[in-house]
């Protein structure tokens, strides 16, 4: 293995030597394919109880948003049982996902968080995508929220809607239209807290199921499967993705 200087590696990554962090370094480093070898911690998953983790997600969601609520509740539960590396996972970073990432209304933060946890805990790419696909298809087609908090003051019924889309902009928009609430109302925030609990429970259910190597996942809805069977990765290959097509597209009259 060749010896290369730390300065050479830093130079290739554009790190300025002026940061002055190298006193005491002997200036040499083992070269490898990656810039520097890393310790690989074990992100071991143990079975959790979906309803209980969902309640915790509901509780902490107002502190940092939907993505933070989902990720924080699952990481905290695993930190209690497994300890490190979960205890020092930077949960706070997940505040970025609120309101469909920085408030822009793109991917719902609960789904971004659920997919991030699946990314952390499921190494096999095919299986990882299977879990994400079931989570997203379930979200698009389910009447939500169904979670009811135990807090007496908030334990009232709430309108439920089928989002029809994984996008925050559409999901929030449909619920607000149905409920007559505006997008900044306390009612909308309560709806998104409950939704965070629901998506947390579903994510934990999927991670539990995935502990069985022979488990199966439901896949895309029949409608989306029909569209992507031609437009997806096989025939026409002219469309990227598996989001519910009907959220934005209508079939033209002369569609084959």
Question: Which residues, numbered 200-229, are part of the site for a copy of itself (CB under 8 A)?
Answer: none
Report how far residue 199's alpha carbon sits from residue 233's, in angstroms, rounded to the nearest whole number: 28
Enumerate the β-bridge partners of residue 167: 107
Point out which span in 94-102, 144-152, 154-162, 211-219 binds a copy of itself (CB under 8 A): 94-102
Does 71 contact a copy of itself by CB under 8 A?
Answer: no
Q: Contact 196/70 with Cβ under 8 angstroms?
A: yes
Q: How far apart are the two ends of the chain, measured CA to CA in Å?
A: 60
Point out which span in 122-130, 143-151, 156-164, 211-219 binds a copy of itself (CB under 8 A): 122-130
State whether residue 162 is helix, strand or coil.
strand
Please identify, using beta-carbon distances, which residue of 123 and 153 lies nearer to a copy of itself. 123
Q: How many CA atoms lie within 13 A of 68 on its CB side?
A: 19
Does 242 contact a copy of itself by CB under 8 A?
Answer: yes
Does 132 contact a copy of itself by CB under 8 A?
Answer: yes
Selected binder of a copy of itself within 182, 212, 253, 254 (CB under 8 A): 182
Does 102 contact a copy of itself by CB under 8 A?
Answer: yes
Q: How many residues bind a copy of itself (CB under 8 A)?
A: 90
Q: Which helix (H) or strand (E) holds 198?
A: helix 186-209
């Amino acid at each position: 293995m060749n010896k290369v200087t730390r300065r050479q590696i830093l130079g290739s990554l554009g790190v300025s030597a002026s940061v002055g962090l190298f006193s005491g370094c002997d200036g040499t480093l083992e070269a490898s394919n990656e810039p520097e070898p890393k310790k690989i911690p074990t992100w071991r998953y143990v079975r959790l109880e979906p309803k209980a983790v969902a309640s915790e997600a509901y509780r902490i969601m107002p502190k940092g948003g939907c993505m933070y609520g989902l990720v924080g509740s699952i990481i905290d539960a695993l930190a209690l049982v497994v300890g490190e590396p979960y205890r020092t996972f930077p949960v706070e970073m997940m505040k970025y996902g609120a309101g469909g990432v920085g408030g822009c209304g793109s991917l719902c933060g609960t789904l971004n968080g659920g997919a991030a946890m699946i990314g952390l805990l499921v190494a096999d790419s095919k299986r990882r995508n299977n879990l994400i696909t079931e989570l997203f298809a379930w979200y698009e087609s389910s009447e939500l929220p169904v979670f009811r908090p135990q807090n007496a003051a908030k334990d009232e019924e709430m309108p439920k809607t089928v989002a029809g889309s994984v996008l925050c902009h559409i999901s929030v928009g449909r619920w607000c239209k149905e409920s007559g609430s505006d997008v900044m109302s306390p009612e909308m925030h309560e709806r998104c807290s409950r939704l965070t609990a629901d998506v947390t429970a579903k994510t934990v259910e999927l991670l539990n199921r995935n502990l069985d190597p022979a488990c199966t996942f439901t896949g895309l809805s029949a409608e989306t499967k029909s569209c992507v069977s031609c437009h997806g990765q096989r025939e026409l290959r002219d469309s990227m993705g598996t989001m519910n097509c009907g959220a934005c597209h209508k079939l033209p009259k002369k569609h084959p």
